Chain A
Amino acid sequence: MKMRIKVTLHDEDESEVTEATTLEVDVPDFEAFTGPDTFGQTFHQYEQTALEARNGVMEAVTEKYVGGLVKKNAGRDGETRRKKQ
């Protein structure tokens, strides 16, 4: 089974600020949960993958978010400087 995590950053008017970040990982099938004895190990596979995916996606999105912020500020500062001159 695949788990796809898609994260978007958008303005209040729903326009996308950055392109969407998507990550797809394999997680155990429901059939892998064969009973209480194997629940722990199988869920561990899921949890580990999910945590790593969550961290990976959030890292990528945050990089884009901070990148966008830097770009925007750099543009604004340039305009401010030009106005002062």
Chain B
Amino acid sequence: MEKQGGKSSEKPKKYGIDAEIGRLEVPTYEIKKGSQKVFSTERDVFPETGSRERYKTVCFRELAVFSCCDMPFRKSAQKLNRTLRRKEGQLVEPRTMANLVDREGEAIAACVETKAKTILKCYDFTDEGVSTGDTSRYGLLANESVLSEERVSQAGKELNDSLPKERQIDVESLQGTCEDPTKVKALISVDDVLCKKQKVSGRKRGSSPPKKKERVKNTVAHLQRRKGETYTMTTATIAQMMIVLLAFLLSNGLMIVPGQLVFFTDGAEDLLGAIQNVFAFLPFKLILDWYHLDKKCQQRLSMAMKGKEKRNTVLLELLAWLWIGKVDQAIAYLRSLHPDDIKDAEHIEKLIGYFSRNLSFIPCYALRQQLGLRVSSNPVEKANDLLVSNRQKHNGMSWSPSGSHSLAILTSLRRNDEHMQWLLHHDIRFQFDAAAQKPAA
């Protein structure tokens, strides 16, 4: 300090540090040359903090922020205070934990957004994911990276042997529809997960209650590279997810890998639209998740048919057609139902509409299963549980959008094993490699 050649003085206010090692109060100094401040410990040594804020060390943040991903803020605060042996007056309050999570989550989301925009720019894409350059190299060998005809024929033959004659599949027509799992860019499952939204303020006297329960939406994606490495990501909206997804694929060199991109979804229209909007420049495959197709049929038929027995009979027959990918026969079967068995024909029409809309996304699930290919988006369903549901969907819990997104993004960061990189450098690697040692889901 003497080097500065000014007058040094101790400031009355101490710099507060919240560390795992303890709560520290460090004296601060400043050097003035005349009226000009030439050095200040708060500015030149320590990171800047708010007027009553304490600087939180990496170890402290690791404990405080990530414990909130597993348990409620109140319990996390109790556990933290117990672990660090904090005395009265030094206790970390649950509200502080929640604020800390909010702030970290928002900072990570901003970092991901900036990173995605930078990557997109490097690869000649606009911020909205529209290409401004040549995209032909991304579709390289997309149609050639399918399973060999012999393998498909063999699997088809084995499958037909187990099926009744009228349900047997035409193997020749299915040639070229099954991707070679060793020659795909990535397998991507995308889904939305909802949790209860916090009320902004109390309802005014005399006003009618809200018609629909408000929900906070998180979009979750699970990516799997052919080597089996996985990565999970979460954003607040589907549109944001598509941008981040595109940037991730580009930065990991997956877009120039010969082969197809394979998406697995639940058939939600907004999701399908967003995928088609962003990835329209290259051939990709979209597969409707079998579990959701099954569930959709169950729900619609429950409302459409008279009685449980009739519903179950129709459901069984319908699913049998859908399992082998014969959507036309499934629609024909629904149309042939006797009017006396139907309670509400509108639901039958809606189901037919759903099949027609998703016709091109319904493959021959039986053949895919026979070939050992994935038929469902269950990895993202599991990721939904791990990132959102396990922590956020319990009795009496409701969330602000920022609180919910922040928790989800922090949990995904930890599952991708990127949390230390974030805590230390305020950056993420945005690579499969980070998660290779610890699969995300």
A→B interface (CB under 8 Å) = 33, 35-37, 39-41, 43-44, 47-48, 50-51, 54
Residue of A nearest to B19 (CB): A47
Residues of B in contact (CB 8 Å), total 14
- A-B CB pair tally, cutoff 8 Å: 39
How far apart are B22's CB and chain A's nearest CB, in angstroms? 10
How far apart are A52's CB and chain B's nearest CB, in angstroms? 11
Q: List 26 A-B contacts (CB under 8 A).
A: A35-B44, A35-B45, A36-B43, A36-B44, A36-B45, A36-B46, A36-B47, A39-B45, A39-B46, A39-B47, A40-B47, A40-B58, A40-B424, A41-B424, A41-B425, A43-B19, A43-B58, A44-B58, A44-B59, A47-B19, A47-B58, A47-B59, A50-B21, A51-B20, A51-B21, A51-B59
Residue of A nearest to B43 (CB): A36
Q: Are A43 and B43 in contact (CB under 8 A)?
A: no
Q: Find B45's partner among A33, A44, A47, A48 (CB 8 Å cutoff).
A: A33
How far apart are A84's CB and chain B's nearest CB, in angstroms? 43
Q: A36-B46, A39-B47, A40-B47 are known; give 18 further A-B pairs, CB within 8 A.
A: A33-B45, A36-B43, A36-B44, A37-B47, A39-B45, A40-B57, A40-B58, A41-B424, A41-B425, A43-B19, A43-B58, A44-B57, A47-B21, A47-B57, A47-B59, A48-B59, A50-B21, A51-B20
Residue of A nearest to B58 (CB): A44
Residue of B nearest to A35 (CB): B44
Instruction: Check B48 for interface membership: any CB of A closer than 8 A.
Output: yes
B28-45 residues at the A interface, CB under 8 angstroms: 43-45
How far apart are B3's CB and chain A's nearest CB, in angstroms? 13
Write out the residue numbers on chain A whose beta carbons fall within 8 Å of the beta carbon of B46: 36, 39
A51 to B21, CA, bound (A): 7
What is the 8 Å Cβ interface bit string for chain B, positions 39-78, against chain A (1 contact, 0 not)?
Answer: 0000111111000000001110000000000000000000
How far apart are A78's CB and chain B's nearest CB, in angstroms? 38
How far apart are A47's CB and chain B's nearest CB, in angstroms? 5
6 smallest beta-carbon distances between A and B, as pairs = A44-B58, A36-B47, A47-B59, A39-B47, A41-B424, A47-B21
A33 to B46, CA, bound (A): 9
How far apart are A44's CB and chain B's nearest CB, in angstroms? 4
Write out the residue numbers on chain A whose beta carbons fall within 8 Å of the beta carbon of B59: 44, 47-48, 51
Q: Are B48 and A47 in contact (CB under 8 A)?
A: no
Write out the residue numbers on chain B whose beta carbons fall within 8 Å of the beta carbon of A48: 59
Most B CB within 10 A of own CB, among A36, A37, A39, A54: A36
Residue of B nearest to A34 (CB): B45
Write out the residue numbers on chain A whose beta carbons fall within 8 Å of the beta carbon of B21: 47, 50-51, 54
How far apart are A49's CB and chain B's nearest CB, in angstroms? 11
Write out the residue numbers on chain B whose beta carbons fall within 8 Å of the beta carbon of A37: 47
A50 to B59, CA, bound (A): 12
How far apart are A32's CB and chain B's nearest CB, in angstroms? 12
What is the 8 Å Cβ interface bit string for chain B, positions 214-251, against chain A (1 contact, 0 not)?
Answer: 00000000000000000000000000000000000000
Write out the residue numbers on chain B whose beta carbons fall within 8 Å of the beta carbon of A39: 45-47
Write out the residue numbers on chain A whose beta carbons fall within 8 Å of the beta carbon of B47: 36-37, 39-40
What is the 8 Å Cβ interface bit string for chain B, positions 396-435, against chain A (1 contact, 0 not)?
Answer: 0000000000000000000000000000110000000000
A28 to B288, CA, bound (A): 56
Q: Are A36 and B48 in contact (CB under 8 A)?
A: yes
How far apart are B300's CB and chain A's nearest CB, in angstroms? 55
Write out the residue numbers on chain B whose beta carbons fall within 8 Å of the beta carbon of A40: 47, 57-58, 424
A48 to B424, CA, bound (A): 13
How far apart are A31's CB and chain B's nearest CB, in angstroms? 12
Q: Find A44's partner among B43, B44, B48, B424 (CB 8 Å cutoff).
A: B424
Residue of A nearest to B426 (CB): A40
How far apart are A23's CB and chain B's nearest CB, in angstroms? 15
Write out the residue numbers on chain B whose beta carbons fall within 8 Å of the beta carbon of A50: 21
A54 to B19, CA, bound (A): 14
Report if A43-B57 is in contact (Cβ < 8 Å); known contacts: A50-B21, A51-B20. yes
Write out the residue numbers on chain A whose beta carbons fall within 8 Å of the beta carbon of B20: 47, 51
A69 to B354, CA, bound (A): 77
